[in-house]
Structure 1
Amino acid sequence: MSITEASLSTSAADCDVLAGIRHAIADFLQHCGLQYTPTTIDEELYNKCCQDAINRGFPMSDEDYSLRPYMVIGVTMSSIAYGHLTNPATRMWLCHFTAAGICVDDTMKRQQDMENLYRFNERFATCQPQGDAVLNTWDEILRETPRHFSPLVSGFITTSTLDFISGLLLEYETQGMKISRDAPMYPEYTRLLSGLAHGFAYFVFPPTVPLLDYVQCIPDLMFFLNHANDILSYYKEEIEGDSTNYVSLLAASRGLTKHEALCRLIEKTVLAHHNIVKCLKPHPEAYEAYASVCHGYIKFHTALKRYMVKEIMAEKSLL
């Protein structure tokens, strides 16, 4: 076989793989009763959130180490995914929380300022300056959690955030580690730490919703939020050649092909969604909050072109 023939064969195989991913993701959305809806970002709200960040002294320069590149994601999360929250101050807080969290995540991936990241949790616990503008911002935002949530829920959000930092550091220290088939739960462990799902699960329910109406669905909700993101991100990650995503780690730990791992993850995530729906049905306010976030979470991925949802949904002509 000539080099040209081999390249064409590889290209065709890659196209088949990507088509299979698009088909699987489209099926995932259908099985959850979710539809693709073209969504745009609220420019007025974006400008308002950026100005608020500037007024508060958050790092918002045009340099690399700044919240500015991440504000569009924060605005999209707070206004589209969690747009049902009626308190404007809480939505603004959630925008800043999301933007700062993604900025911290990218800092770790660039291996930038790792010394301060290692000391974040210690400094947070002892109320010490973080030694870094973005981490100081993250610290400040996290300390405001009790203004928006009950003491118990604030505690869950805070510990989830500190676990997020530990999860990032764990990923850093285990780079290149061979994934053992004798530790099939390890990918889930690392995903729970680094996904912030515990916090984002509690963000779903406004303070007016009694805890007893929804607390039993939190484990399924954490699973859904983490892995819906993994599923919707996988197409772009495969195109980018990312071999460290959750689907790839799951495949390695279970001795599966990546497509088999994706399909199994989709099956479990759909089940988690239906468990949540059944659990919340008797409680209308909690159910409506989840329904809004569930549809909004898909719109969040749609609004950000990086996830390529429009291309994915064209696979099944659902546009």
Structure 2
Amino acid sequence: MAIIPESISGNDSTRPLRQLLVEFFERSGIPNRFRWNGMDPIVRDRALERAKGLHLGISDNELERYLTVGLVIAVTAFGHTPRDVQVEIALYTFFCTMADDSVMSHEMLREFVPRIFRGEPQLHPILAELLKELSILRQYFTPYSSNIITTNTMDFFSAEMFLRDEGGSDSGSANSTEYVDYIRWKTGIGEAYAAFIWPCSMFPQTKTYIQAIPDAIQFICLCNDLLSYYKEAQAGETDNYVSHRTAGGQSPMDTLEEMVNRLVVLDGRIKAILGEGAEKAAWESFASGPSGKPQSANKA
């Protein structure tokens, strides 16, 4: 299957994880829907022109590396949306990925939300451009979706600063699983990316898809964590969703199997909620791409 990373396709030690991923893809039907026709040059060129016209204080190599993350997400997961929407999603992801990857200081990030409410300039041009992008996105989504894109972006910054400043809360208990999920839904920006699935030019009424958003949030974050776990484990990273869920005593494979089961149930319920029509088709197109935000340019 082309969508299974090559790095986990032939190693005995990773065979259980590979089999688990195969099971997920087969049970969800993703291989039957997945299509990759390469990068859309029009979306790429428009996004690159916009990004290079900004004064972000980063090198051209950094700009192109981080923008590639946004472009891959926009073109693969949101290829069903108009090109102008894909460009904005690529730029939004570009800005958020740089914030998530510590391109700027913690103090600059910590001040992002407070300065919005105080009406003060942001401390880094990337953050200033992200704020402008949140305003631009309002042209492409319903008022409700536009609002949750903005509030979820602020949730992301708030949760990230809590984790960086205080190290998060103790998740080493079987009773802390709800907290692990709670904080992950915020750091994963799942609500914003769920809203991106249904732009207002295609879906002018929020009520036609809003009931699917709670499950879509979870699917986006869990799918990203499932697909990124192998690389994180190989790198010795322990600050991830699976590790926090296993802190209560569950094994990593048991946790991953539970995630697969949850994802299959979520996908089925979302499709049942949306019924037969354009809303469901948009979801299926999205879910066949890399559902969720990469945590850094190095992990993309």
Q: What is the TM-score when the length of structure 1 is the normalising length?
A: 0.81
CA distance in 1, matches of 2:45, 2:238: 36
Deviation of 1:39 after TM superposition, in Å, equals 5.7
CA distance in 1, matches of 2:261, 2:29: 14
CA distance in 1, matches of 2:65, 2:245: 30
| 2:135 pairs with 1:143 | yes
Aligned partner of 1:71 in structure 2 is 67
Relative distance call for 1:132 and 1:231 in structure 2 (3 A) is same
Equivalent position amino acid for 2:111 in 1: R
Deviation of 1:306 after TM superposition, in Å, equals 5.3
Relative distance call for 1:188 and 1:298 in structure 2 (3 A) is closer
Deviation of 1:206 after TM superposition, in Å, equals 2.4
Aligned partner of 1:3 in structure 2 is none
Structure 1 residues 200-221: Cα deviation after superposition (integer angstroms, max 9, x where no partner): 1111112132222211111111
Deviation of 1:46 after TM superposition, in Å, equals 2.5
| 2:43 pairs with 1:48 | no
Q: 2:112 aligns with which of 120, 123, 129?
A: 120
Give 1:1-319 correspondences, 5 Å limit: 16-35=12-31, 40-43=38-41, 45-59=43-57, 61-62=59-60, 66-86=62-82, 88-107=83-102, 112-175=104-167, 178-181=170-173, 182-207=175-200, 208-209=202-203, 210-253=205-248, 255-282=249-276, 284-297=277-290
CA distance in 1, matches of 2:237, 2:298: 18
SS at match of 1:185: helix
Structure 1 residues 230-256: Cα deviation after superposition (integer angstroms, max 9, x where no partner): 111111111111111111111113x20
SS at match of 1:183: helix
SS at match of 1:85: coil
CA distance in 1, matches of 2:251, 2:20: 14
CA distance in 1, matches of 2:99, 2:293: 20
CA contact 1:59–1:67 (8 Å) conserved in 2: no
Gaps (5+ residues) in structure 2?
1-10
Relative distance call for 1:128 and 1:169 in structure 2 (3 A) is same
Structure 1 residues 259-281: Cα deviation after superposition (integer angstroms, max 9, x where no partner): 11111111111100000111112
Q: What is the TM-score when the length of structure 2 is the normalising length?
A: 0.86
CA contact 2:57–2:125 (8 Å) conserved in 1: yes
Q: Which moved more, 1:202-211 or 1:189-198?
A: 202-211
- For the pair shown, the structure with the greater C-alpha radius of gyration is 1
CA contact 1:80–1:300 (8 Å) conserved in 2: no
Structure 1 residues 65-93: Cα deviation after superposition (integer angstroms, max 9, x where no partner): x543211111111122101112x322211
Equivalent residues, number: 283
Relative distance call for 1:201 and 1:172 in structure 2 (3 A) is same
Report % sequence identity: 25
